[in-house]
């Protein structure tokens, strides 16, 4: 699953431009399930199992990652951009980016030319530009079109138990879901690889409508703030303590029974200890007449940056917990 994750993280798929991620996922699941894509670009999957369950369950992961979209080109050939999804300014400053196959860097004033006040405050997003080496608009336009998306570069490194990469949110979920589709075959289930989560849970809305499930399992990456300088009570979840299971975030109040069953599963996991963030559950649980939903999230430090850190054991336990919950709900043992 680690090798699969590395491949997934290496693909660029900023919200709304997720075709390469989609094509890769299709190449992985084709032959293991029935699948189709919808108008937005979601992959809707039906996986036939040995048995027909009494409940319709949908498992979801989102294919997009945060990034940038090019909005203008200056006469000097610099690219103006807007952030797609939530990214801190500090995570943009002096970073390598890629616009398709074109290399760029987010440029800025060198430290030597800043006064003290400037040097202590973040610049505004509006003051940042991408330098692709173009000397003027015409040269830049040969390689980049307005509306193209850019990713902040961050290669995949596995170091002991830890993984460092861009796009861990939510290629972790995609990798788990691909493996589920390939290897879980007790009961029939549905799945969605949803687009545009980072733009406000858009793909999941239509995917949930199409599948019309009674229950849903959302596979995610979530903020882990178990880092220096943060109080333990603010840490949300911790690396190495298993996937985080949510009772409530800013988009969803989760099914309490599912939440408790997950925590009692015997698989190493932890409650998400904050009412913060949100994920596709927000769209799915409100679909049609309502859907009982659980989110299983792999803790990620520095989420939404090109150097997120996750723990391999949490990733593996998230897979185990996903199987446990899916099988439990489908068999009627849970819920």
Partner 1 sequence: MSIKDTLFALSGLDSAGNLTEAADKAYSMLKEYVKTEKGPNLTVTGFLKGQTDYTLMIDAHIDQIAMVVTGIDDNGFLTVAKSGGIDIRSLPSRRVTVHAKEKITAVFCATPPHLSSKECEYKDIADIKLDTGLGKKAKDIVSLGDYVTFSEAPKELLGNRVSGRSFDNRACVACVIETVKRLSDKELPFNVAFVLSDGEELGLRGTRTATFKINPKEAIVLDVSFGDGIDIPDTDCGKLGLGGMIGVSPALDRKISDKLIFLAKENKIPYQIEAMGAKSGTNADMISVSREGVRTCTLSIPLRNMHTDVETLDLNDLENVCRLLCEYVLSGGVMNA
* Residues at the site binding partner 1, with contacts judged by CB under 8 A: 74, 76, 78, 86, 88, 90-91, 93-96, 102-114, 119-123, 127, 129, 131-135, 139-140, 143, 154, 157, 159-162, 164, 223-225, 227-230, 234, 236, 274, 276-277, 301-307, 309
Of 197, 198, 220, 316, catalytic: 197
Helices (H), 106-234: 116-120, 137-141, 168-183, 202-211
Choose between 22 and 166: whose C-beta lies nearer to partner 1.
Answer: 166
In the complex, least distance from residue 157 CB atom to partner 1, rounded to whole angstroms? 5
Choose between 34 and 234: whose C-beta lies nearer to partner 1.
Answer: 234
Choose between 42 and 222: whose C-beta lies nearer to partner 1.
Answer: 222
Here the tokens at position 210 are: 């199409």
In the complex, least distance from residue 255 CB atom to partner 1, rounded to whole angstroms? 23
Inter-axis angle of helices 256-263 and 312-331, nearest 10: 120
DSSP-derived secondary structure for 248-265 = B-SS-BPPHHHHHHHHTS
For residue 275, CA distances in Å to 4, 157, 235, 250 come to 31, 31, 12, 6
Residue with tokens 């997009």: 64
Choose between 171 and 261: whose C-beta lies nearer to partner 1.
Answer: 171
Which residues lie across from 299 on neighbouring strands?
A: 222
In the complex, least distance from residue 96 CB atom to partner 1, rounded to whole angstroms? 6
* CA quadruple 206, 210, 216, 221: dihedral sign: negative
Active site residue 135: no
- Residues designated catalytic: 197
């Amino acid at each position: 699953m680690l090798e699969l994750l590395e491949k997934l993280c290496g693909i660029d798929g900023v919200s709304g431009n997720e075709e390469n991620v989609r094509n890769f996922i299709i190449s992985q699941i084709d032959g293991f399930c029935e699948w189709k894509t919808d108008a937005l670009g979601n992959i809707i999957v039906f996986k036939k199992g040995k048995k027909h369950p009494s409940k319709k369950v949908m498992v979801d992961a989102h294919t997009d990652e945060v990034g940038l979209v090019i909005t203008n080109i200056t006469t000097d050939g610099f690219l103006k951009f807007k952030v797609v999804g939530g990214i801190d300014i500090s995570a943009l400053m002096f970073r390598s980016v890629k616009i398709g196959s074109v290399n760029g860097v987010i440029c800025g004033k060198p430290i030597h030319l800043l006064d003290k006040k400037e040097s202590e405050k973040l610049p505004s997003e509006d003051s940042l530009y991408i330098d692709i080496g173009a000397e003027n608009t015409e040269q830049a336009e040969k390689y980049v079109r307005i509306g193209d998306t850019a990713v902040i570069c961050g290669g995949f490194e596995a170091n002991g138990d830890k993984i460092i990469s861009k796009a861990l949110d939510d290629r972790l979920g995609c990798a788990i879901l691909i493996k589920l589709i390939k290897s879980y075959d007790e009961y029939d289930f549905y799945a969605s690889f949803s687009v545009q989560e980072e733009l406000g849970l858009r793909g999941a809305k239509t995917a949930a409508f199409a599948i019309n499930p009674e229950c849903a399992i959302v596979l995610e990456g979530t903020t882990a703030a178990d880092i220096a300088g943060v109080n333990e009570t603010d840490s949300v979840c911790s690396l190495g303590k298993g996937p985080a299971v949510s009772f409530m975030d800013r988009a969803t109040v989760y099914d309490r029974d599912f939440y408790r069953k997950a925590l009692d599963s015997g698989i190493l996991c932890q409650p998400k200890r904050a009412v913060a963030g949100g994920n596709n559950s927000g769209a799915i649980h409100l679909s049609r007449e309502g859907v009982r939903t659980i989110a299983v999230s792999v803790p990620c430090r520095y989420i939404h940056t090109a150097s997120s850190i996750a723990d391999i054991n949490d990733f593996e336990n998230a897979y185990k917990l996903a199987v446990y919950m899916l099988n439990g709900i489908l068999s009627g043992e849970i819920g």
